[in-house]
Structure 1
């Protein structure tokens, strides 16, 4: 199973996290902080959520970011599937399978955690794409 990690952060609280993709919203959209009635609320409060989502361009940005994630996840039957299987072996603590991917030592660290991992290879059985 592929996992997408989403981290929101404020630049005033520290540097941006290391990420494959980062979207800086500071200059494109009006800051709800400028409205006194929203200043001490958070994104989990309905008035902030409604204000932000009603801002021109925000909904389109959500759609664009989702499309970007789709592009990253669009894999075939080689790299993404191999990495997914290796990661599944690691996270499930399956050291025997992980050994085939040369990550048994890493899988051993997860063995006691008892994580259930579900991997889905969407395109593994599709025809080879000729380029």
Structure 2
């Protein structure tokens, strides 16, 4: 019988929809970073739109978060632990899913299998 394969699970979510996922080993709060929601041209878009991805990735500090999260996940996996990271922003449509996808890509580049779930990406825009 072969050993089970270790993997990373990355979950994006919005704090305004519900509590963070309880299965997360690490929760990162991205609400301190500039929210694309404030731009009327981006508000109805999601992380599936390149304009949102580009805007989030140009946000000062986001690249460092992505690098740090990916390295943390790689270390945990190397030590023999599955890891679940939950990235949250206000509505779960912009910052969190972009960061989740970027972390997933970076960890895949280390050679680890990754699952990505976007809990709130398809929920309506939160009016605030």
Give the TM-score range, shorter chain: 0.5 to 0.7
Structure 2 residue aligned with 1:24: 29
Structure 1 residue aligned with 2:57: 53
The size of the alignment, in residue pairs, is 77
Deviation at 1:74, TM superposition (A): 2.1
Deviation at 1:15, TM superposition (A): 0.4
Deviation at 1:10, TM superposition (A): 0.3
Deviation at 1:60, TM superposition (A): 1.2
Aligned equivalents of 1:71, 1:20: Cα separation in 2: 14
Q: TM-score, normalised by structure 2?
A: 0.57
The superposition leaves residues 77-126 of structure 1 with CA deviations (integer Å, 9 ceiling, x where unpaired) of xxx3xx88xxxxxxxxxxxxxxxxxxxxxxxxxxxxxxxxxxxxxxxxxx
Higher RCO (CA-CA < 8 Å; seq separation 6+): 2
Structure 1 residue aligned with 2:71: 67
Structure 1: 5+ residue stretches without partners? 85-131
Report if aligned partners of 2:7, 2:77 keep a CA contact under 8 Å in 1. Answer: no
Structure 2: 5+ residue stretches without partners? 83-128
Q: Please identify which structure carries the higher strand content.
A: 2
Aligned equivalents of 2:77, 2:10: Cα separation in 1: 14
Q: Please show how residues 101-116 of structure 1 align to structure 2 within 5 Å.
A: none
Aligned equivalents of 1:2, 1:17: Cα separation in 2: 20
Structure 1 residue aligned with 2:6: 2
Q: Please identify which structure carries the higher helix content.
A: 1
Aligned equivalents of 2:46, 2:9: Cα separation in 1: 20
Structure 2 residue aligned with 1:11: 15
